[in-house]
Structure 1
Amino acid sequence: MELDPVFLSRVQFAFVIAFHILFPAFTIGLASYIAVLEGLWFATKRDIYFHISRFWTRIFAVSFGMGVVSGIVMSFQFGTNWSRFSDATANVLGPLLSYEVLTAFFLEATFLGILLFGRNLVSPRVHFLSAVMVALGTLVSSFWILAANSWMHTPAGYEVRDGIFHVTSWVEAIFNPSFPYRLSHMVTAAFLTTAFVVIGISAWYLLKGQFTDSARRMLSMTLWLVTVLAPLQIVLGDLHGLNTFEHQPVKVAAMEGHWETQTGAPMILFAVPDPETETNHFEIAIPYLGSLILVHDVMGEVRGLKAWPADQRPPVAIVFYAFRIMVSIGFLMLGVVLASLWLRRRKRLFETRWFLRLCAACAPIGFVALIAGWFVTEVGRQPWVVYGVMRTADATSPAITGGGVLASLLGYITVYAIIFTAGVYYILRLVQRGPGEAQAAPQGRAARPLSGAQQPFEAGD
């Protein structure tokens, strides 16, 4: 059987980036959370904020390291598997990714050392500043990465000469039509992902009766954050969808499961898309709602997949189901918010065990939504690697073979399984040890020499 190197290269890149995206998304939210905690401790000198911050800083360090390692492997694939894409787009994507390293990564790396190991070596003010700089670095990194990725979806500010992309306007290339929507949607998703991890761990502590003071504070803070961000994300998702409907309508047709162009299009809640017959089976739909959402007119026209040739359509089933997983999780998050507001009003937020169990179970849902959203975005772009300009089949390296890609894919799976298992195991051990409320917080440089309790990483961690 002949192995398709293009398909296997796509699978390999999908596997690596799906693994990688979990850690940067988590650390984006966690860095900002730590900065808030450090600011509260600096302003109030209440030990509870010190203990919570130190606890999450340890977890941040492990997650940051795993994100860096997986990111390095991902970048190598541009040269090994996607050399024609790299060669064609180097004038655009090369500088954008370089700016990410020069501005964001160096900023994070510089101040991360102070954040992790300098608590008793610098003043509280400088340590707080380092936390803010690390958080800022993660957000700047998001800016450049999303600018590069958004350009691939809605390319702008370029011209093609002899098969090579050349920038004609950096402003248009960076601030391309989908960039503002994708950046706001992704950063909010990262914050929600982190928030639900904190909510889940806090609820687990309360169910176990451990670290109750810290758990109450963490649960309350992050639930207030989610109360703002969950509804906001639904609004941002709608705006992002409208932008996609304008610039990538075939992707929206796959997301919605529409085969026929129609006015007064329904919103399909569930179906089994069948690309062979170009129809849906077992369809459950709400009449007219699809047009109302996408066109803001109950009789607005929504183009179906048949409006495009079959070779210009994305894999419908993957996009269709991934979109529903993402949206369902978004409304689950909103349900948690509504339940928390009701329990706050009744002053039962920390004692209602069914709610705490729900929160604990929801700890990983942000990661699931991230992966589902990524599948919607990237699979929905197919068969294009630069939308409407360069096909994925024309982007792979000319000399690669299916067997070689498969062998490296199996190697990645093996190595990543070991790394992921070890990293998660270590993080779970840190979670089991908890914030350590019984220990006193240091008061700056006067607290030297360092004791084991004051070290950012204890012996044996």
Structure 2
Amino acid sequence: MFDGLDPVVLARAQFAFTVSFHFIFPAFSIGLASYLMVLEGLWLKTGKGVYANLYRYWLKIFAVVFGMGVVSGVVMSYQFGTNWSVFSHKAGPVIGPLMAYEVMTAFFLEAGFLGVMLFGMNKVGKGLHFFATSMVALGTLISATWIIAVNSWMQTPAGFAINDKGQFIPAGSWFDIVFTASFPFRLVHTVIAAYLTTAFAVGAVGAWHLLRDRANPGARKMFSMAMWMAALVAPVQILAGDAHGLNTLEHQPVKVLAMEGDYRPSPNGAPLILFGWPDSEAADVRYEVSIPHLGSLILKHDPFAPLPGLTDFPRDQWPPVPIVFWSFRLMVGLGFAMLGIGLWSLFARYRRQLYDWPWLHRAAVLMGPSGFVAVIAGWVTTEVGRQPFTVYGLLRTAESHSPLAAPAVAVSLIAFVIVYFAAFGAGTYYLLRLMAKPPEPGESEPQKVPQRAAGITPASGVAARTVGRE
């Protein structure tokens, strides 16, 4: 039944499906871990119970998100051996140690302190518990750093040699392998995206409960904090994306040209194509809606700067242009929508009506999933735009897969789809149930731990106040 299908396409579809499910959970947990650290730090500094209530509220959600991220990530790693064994053999000497470093420096750090963070609030001192929360937040950032280092090396490989077996092996300093040309831009862009994803998820939950009870102190506080993040960080993300795009144009010009839909060279300045339908056969964007010279202004900061076109490169190096073209526009469009919500919230805050404008709250609820959609769209832009290579310019995807028949890959893909939708669908439903419950202002304060029993001294300047007090 599946004999006529391409096993490479099926293997790519399987990896794309599993990584899309996986990516949304680390993106949420990275931002949520830092948010929890901020909440607990504010509670320790101010003694205001609303921060502790929110910490306990989001801690339950973080536990589920973290678990789903771990489970979905473990499954992905097996595909390197099953579907992409040639890639693993050739690139393993470089990317294998990087992924091992991620486990040793990040996952162990998170796992070591996660138990204290989840179950130790009534068993250890406040200072130690805050330290555990901070270590989990740090662990998520370190984990992202190593994973981005792996991906950046595949995008802009450096610091390697090729041995007589055709393997990429380290040559010189590991610094060159980790800190490739695209690494800092990719890391900043990804981490900020995780923070914005969390901000809009938290803001949507706060807005949802404000629409039902504007006086709920927890809903007011989480909405206010989320909108501050949106207003302050969304513009930074746009600037970071611009810098990332300039770096990509330098090192992966074909990807950027596919993102922009620039099939033809533009010797006198490229337009910015807003919408249209890319036709790679005709090397043209049909039904094009564009703004003259704006493309060169964005990419070169000069409206008349010349830009090459995809036709300047061999066709066998073109990625699937329509996918890259539209995923990029989806990501950018959502980014500007986030900026719009942030500016709207600033105006409402200026008018002292942040909690009183239901249309702002409805818009925030509508934008709740926007971060998740944007990070997946960004991942599609990055990874599909790298095609037809797994290691850019050096190792083609068609040469990286395992020698498997199409039926074997198709059956496993179908199994993944069924299991993922069942398991993670149930997990997502449970998360929505947790978020639908309003933060209770009267939740009891975590029990005060006797200092001798806790084995530590209290942090100086931290007043003992009840969680229910403001």
Q: Distance in 2 between matches of 1:282 and 1:30?
A: 42
State the Cα deviation string for residues 388-442 of structure 1 (Å, max 9, x = none): 00000000012x1110000000000000001111111111221123322222212
Q: Deviation at 1:253?
A: 0.5
Q: Is the deviation greater in 147-156 or in 36-45?
A: 36-45
For residue 105 of structure 1, the aligned residue among 107, 113, 133 is 107
For residue 70 of structure 2, the aligned residue among 68, 71, 74 is 68
* 1:430 match: 434
Q: Does 1:442 align with 2:438?
A: no
SS of aligned partner of 1:61:
helix
* 1:53 match: 55
Tell me if structure 2 keeps the 8 A contact 1:122–1:444.
Answer: no
Matches within 5 A, 1:39-438: 39-162=41-164, 163-168=166-171, 169-209=173-213, 212-263=216-267, 264-398=269-403, 400-438=404-442
Q: Distance in 1 between matches of 2:385 and 2:399?
A: 18
State the Cα deviation string for residues 233-287 of structure 1 (Å, max 9, x = none): 0000000000000000000010000111112110000110111111111100000
Tell me if structure 1 keeps the 8 A contact 2:205–2:436.
Answer: no
The one-letter amino acid paired with 1:378 is: E
Give me the TM-score of the superposition, normalised by structure 2: 0.94
Q: Does 1:2 align with 2:4?
A: yes
Q: Which has the higher contact order (CA 8 A, sep 6+)?
A: 2
Q: Distance in 2 between matches of 1:124 and 1:62?
A: 23
* 1:38 match: 40
Q: Percent identity?
A: 54
Tell me if structure 2 keeps the 8 A contact 1:82–1:395.
Answer: yes
* 1:21 match: 23
Q: Distance in 2 between matches of 1:389 and 1:211?
A: 59
Q: Distance in 2 between matches of 1:375 and 1:140?
A: 23
SS of aligned partner of 2:386:
coil
SS of aligned partner of 2:211:
helix
Q: Deviation at 1:210?
A: 7.0
SS of aligned partner of 2:124:
coil
Tell me if structure 2 keeps the 8 A contact 1:38–1:53.
Answer: yes
Q: Distance in 2 between matches of 1:135 and 1:262?
A: 46
SS of aligned partner of 2:31:
helix
Q: Distance in 2 between matches of 1:76 and 1:444?
A: 45
State the Cα deviation string for residues 62-100 of structure 1 (Å, max 9, x = none): 000000000000000000000000010111101000000
Q: Distance in 2 between matches of 1:12 and 1:359?
A: 33
Tell me if structure 2 keeps the 8 A contact 1:20–1:70.
Answer: yes
Q: Deviation at 1:223?
A: 1.0
Tell me if structure 2 keeps the 8 A contact 1:205–1:211.
Answer: no
Q: Distance in 1 between matches of 2:121 and 2:215?
A: 23
Q: Distance in 2 between matches of 1:113 and 1:6?
A: 41
Q: Deviation at 1:329?
A: 0.4
State the Cα deviation string for residues 340-394 of structure 1 (Å, max 9, x = none): 1111111111010111100011100000100100010000000000000000000
The one-letter amino acid paired with 1:161 is: N
Q: Distance in 1 between matches of 2:382 and 2:176?
A: 21
Q: Distance in 2 between matches of 1:346 and 1:114?
A: 42
Q: Is the deviation greater in 250-259 or in 40-49?
A: 40-49
SS of aligned partner of 2:286:
strand
Q: Distance in 1 between matches of 2:37 and 2:27?
A: 16
Provide structure 2 residue ranges, at least 5 long, that are not aligned to the other structure.
454-470
Q: Distance in 2 between matches of 1:372 and 1:308?
A: 25
State the Cα deviation string for residues 429-456 of structure 1 (Å, max 9, x = none): 2112332222221243149x9xxxxxxx
RMSD: 1.4
Tell me if structure 1 keeps the 8 A contact 2:216–2:441.
Answer: no
Provide structure 1 residue ranges, at least 5 long, that are not aligned to the other structure.
450-461
Tell me if structure 1 keeps the 8 A contact 2:219–2:438.
Answer: no
Alignment size in residue pairs: 448
SS of aligned partner of 1:262:
coil
SS of aligned partner of 1:269:
strand
Give me the TM-score of the superposition, normalised by structure 1: 0.95
Q: Deviation at 1:105?
A: 0.2
Tell me if structure 1 keeps the 8 A contact 2:277–2:286.
Answer: yes
Q: Is the deviation greater in 255-264 or in 188-197?
A: 255-264
